[in-house]
Structure 1
Amino acid sequence: MGGLTEEGALSGETAAEIAVSVEGAISAGRLAPGERLPTVRELAARLEVSPATVNAAYRALRNRGLVAGSGRAGTRVVESGASASRRLAAPVGPGVRNLADGNPDPELLPPLRPACARLTGKHWLYGEGGRLPALLDWFRHNFERDGLVADHLAVIGGAMDGAERALQAHLRPGDAIVVEDPGYGGVLDLVPALGLRPIAVPVDADGMRPDLLGRALEQRPDACILTPRAHNPTGAAFTERRAAELLEVLRGHDDLLVLEDDHAGAISGADPVTVVGRGDLRRWAVIRSLTKTLGPDIRIGGLSGDQLTVDRVIRRQQVGAGWVSHVLQELAATILTDPATPPLLAAARETYRERRQALADALQRHGIRVSGRSGFNAWIPTPAEGAVAQALLARGWAVRAGESFRTHSPPGLRVTFASLLPDEAEDFARALHDILHGDGRSYTA
């Protein structure tokens, strides 16, 4: 084992203490991604504990996604063991156009000041309830208008909060979950943080592929998470046919929890197609977040699902944060019920559609294809994604290299075009074309 000096050696007498020691070494950089840990027998002899104790420590670390067994290569620190902050776009300097941050266009968000002025100013106290009736009614209408079941609802702190609570309601460390590939980096971070084992399934322009989902289900996973529209990073969206095919594959797996992360809602630019939202499966939940429509700091969402799942989410919420801030709930309800809001959201949806089309057309003119049809992110397959991203940065364009979003899928770039104007789209497409074909370099995988 290469990375530990005597001063930084692993220690502990119990499995929990040894696991904490290894985690500390990873966090401090004394154990690097890919580095091999001592064998069970080697570390047991060094610490004067039983091999079973070290085995238990390594198992706990595997369940938490920090290490992985590599057969005869031993147990190694996983490449994804870095902090979740690596999923965030790095700050960009002056003069650089930011197409990396994943944010909506602030100019297309409903204004906050008028809504804030209309708040009641009431101080909510302990024991006064967790869900604001006006917001709960809005979510119920929102789900039912689109043909989704809304018999049981929870108010959550955004899409990732809802996903985490729903998964914790049914899964335990070591359980397996089907995830999209490429998929949202936040989900790919959440899975190992909960000690879950990911099973990556490719997506195409219509979402997760049913044939490959069927193969993944042969591994008996415990959950599956799907994005019905505005898929991040690809912009994929379900068709009715794809949703029906996925539902057919999922039928009969009664112990499987299936989540839909409908995080962009009204501004996604795609119809509200669902796989699980009509209650056809035993364990399910649909999450609708407001962070893309009202702004990332309004961390509010609604979760509909089967009664057991929703009840468990609410109970877990009650023993943790207790509730989502009533001030935020009231602010969201005030904006959503304002007659001026639907036209604003419709205008945002149309603007994102126009910008998506402008980017796709500009790229196509330069021989570069993208396939997404919803949301405000595009995925551009690109060999040597890191080198291409750096070359774009040198020309004044910040994008995200695809490594943060993919498991086994080929490399690519994620481009957030939320605020990209049509003339800028042409400039970006030309810069990318020149990097790929015109500067004399070879960007190969």
Structure 2
Amino acid sequence: MATQYGISGTTARGISASVEHAVAEGVLAPGAALPPVRGLADELGVSPGTVATAYKELRQRGIVVTRGRGGTVVASAPSVASRRPPKMPDGLRDLAGGHPDSALLPDLMPPRPFRAGPRSHRGTPRLAALETAVRERFARDDVPVGHVAFAHGALDMIGRLLSVELRPGDAVAMEDPGYHHLLDLVTALGLRTVPVLVDDEGMRPESLKEALRAGARAVVYSPRAQNPYGGTFSAARRDALVAVLRDAPEVLVVENDHAADVCGAPLYTLTSGGLPRWVHVRTASKSLGTDLRWAAAACDATTQARHDGRMLLTSGWVSHLLQETVLALYADDHARVLIGRAEAAYRERRRALLDGLASRGIAAHGVSGMNVWVPVGDESAVVNGLRSYGWWVAAGARFRIGTGPGVRISTASLVPADGARLASDFAAVLGESEATYGG
């Protein structure tokens, strides 16, 4: 068995290094099962405790996960691998990537020749004018602005905060279904995900309460444009969630408002509810360009100090040239017009697909944002079926923790006429899959 999996070693460190090497080289692919502890111990001539210690280290480092009776398997996005998503086959329409429509994004040009000068970027990590602009934007949405931080994108900030606040093995309450990169990030940090069910209004209060009872020390969610389900908080849902979190003052509340400017929904933020530990994160990637690896956050004083303290020891600051570019785009009239057009277009395109599916009796979700989530009986059958019609959509498995199967369709570039055609093809594929797989 050890030979089959390429695992060797006589110490816990040696065994874990062997597994890590096999994963990094692709010999052990995501989802591959590792041998049972006792079986591998017998094969290598070591004690079961040695193998168990090796597996524990691999779990803590996000390389493997344990599935109860399903054993230990390589994580779906192991932290030692640098693999990209599978390449889309030629000739297909990409509705899986989740990207904004490039035609609705401004050109990214540095605003002017930029010289660093004698100042210390570590001493002045945030441009004062950009920080002022960020505070004004947050304040318009009732987000408290006493403390502000910048980072290299939302995932960068969230990952840094979780690594500072939590320790391997700690639990994080996550949306289910939820954003696959966040789910992978939490696993890679050696943390445990505790699922919180979502609906068209976002996280469900009773499910969040259960996650907190299970020991979650942080909660990560989107207040609108939830990815992939599309849910958005109502005022009533916001109030219900705040009431739940007030009973858990030690929990870090992470609000990921990733598509704020173009999501087509108002913000009902939990951060205005008087919670002690919180952060509200926004990026410019959906509205101004995916190459703008920048995020701004409002947060409580402790969270800002911990985030900036860790950042000071690593990258130190976000490029001032990048900050100047964002600031110029914030002030640019043409960019503002494009953002308005994008928000309207994304709403129209999303609704066109939802209406087309509904007219054919297909239930789907997407009240805000740039994605539509369609529950299905067999993800593979639907993905492969739509591929035969020229569409490339995302199987829901990578977004799910424990909820039922579905597919995610990115609608940002799907004009209404194409949405109607996709809905028709979707209905045809469902009919074909029922005939093939028995419903």
Q: Does 1:229 align with 2:224?
A: yes
What's the counterpart of residue 381 of structure 1? 375
1:163–1:87 distance in 2 versus 1, CA, 3 Å: farther
Whether the 8 Å contact between 1:263 and 1:289 is mirrored in structure 2 is yes
Report the AA paired with residue 341 of structure 2. Answer: A
Residues 110-149 of structure 1: matches in 2 within 5 Å? 110-113=106-109, 116=110, 118-123=111-116, 127-128=120-121, 129-149=124-144
Matches of 1:47 and 1:295, distance apart in 2? 55
Matches of 2:86 and 2:274, distance apart in 1? 38
For the residue of structure 1 that corresponds to 2:175, the secondary structure is strand
Matches of 1:122 and 1:149, distance apart in 2? 33
Q: Percent identity?
A: 40
Matches of 1:31 and 1:423, distance apart in 2? 44
What's the counterpart of residue 400 of structure 2? 406
What's the counterpart of residue 282 of structure 1? 276
Deviations 1:9-49 (A, max 9, x none): 32153x3333222222333344453524352596288355x
Whether the 8 Å contact between 1:210 and 1:246 is mirrored in structure 2 is yes
Whether the 8 Å contact between 1:40 and 1:51 is mirrored in structure 2 is yes
What's the counterpart of residue 318 of structure 1? 312
Unaligned 5+ segments in structure 2 are none
Cα offset for 1:263? 0.3
Deviations 1:91-110 (A, max 9, x none): 2413x221111100011112
Cα offset for 1:392? 0.7
1:46–1:356 distance in 2 versus 1, CA, 3 Å: closer
TM-score (norm 1): 0.91
- CA RMSD of superposed structures (Å): 2.4
Whether the 8 Å contact between 1:279 and 1:306 is mirrored in structure 2 is no
Cα offset for 1:126? 7.5
What's the counterpart of residue 101 of structure 2? 105
| Equivalent pairs, count | 435
Cα offset for 1:224? 0.7
Unaligned 5+ segments in structure 1 are none
1:16–1:315 distance in 2 versus 1, CA, 3 Å: farther
Q: Does 1:27 align with 2:19?
A: no
TM-score (norm 2): 0.92
Matches of 2:356 and 2:230, distance apart in 1? 17
Matches of 1:425 and 1:181, distance apart in 2? 26
Whether the 8 Å contact between 1:291 and 1:297 is mirrored in structure 2 is yes
Matches of 2:83 and 2:380, distance apart in 1? 14
Whether the 8 Å contact between 2:230 and 2:369 is mirrored in structure 1 is yes
What's the counterpart of residue 37 of structure 2? 39
Residues 73-222 of structure 1: matches in 2 within 5 Å? 73=69, 75-78=71-74, 80=76, 82=78, 88=85, 90-94=87-91, 96-113=92-109, 116=110, 118-123=111-116, 127-128=120-121, 129-222=124-217
What's the counterpart of residue 244 of structure 1? 239
Cα offset for 1:292? 0.5
Whether the 8 Å contact between 1:153 and 1:310 is mirrored in structure 2 is yes
Cα offset for 1:394? 1.4
What's the counterpart of residue 330 of structure 1? 324
Deviations 1:141-182 (A, max 9, x none): 111111111111111111111111111120111111011111
What's the counterpart of residue 11 of structure 1? 9
Matches of 1:384 and 1:86, distance apart in 2? 26
Cα offset for 1:76? 1.7
What's the counterpart of residue 57 of structure 1? 54
Cα offset for 1:2? 6.2
Matches of 2:3 and 2:339, distance apart in 1? 53
1:189–1:124 distance in 2 versus 1, CA, 3 Å: farther
1:306–1:90 distance in 2 versus 1, CA, 3 Å: same
Whether the 8 Å contact between 1:89 and 1:101 is mirrored in structure 2 is no
Deviations 1:214-236 (A, max 9, x none): 11111111111011111111111
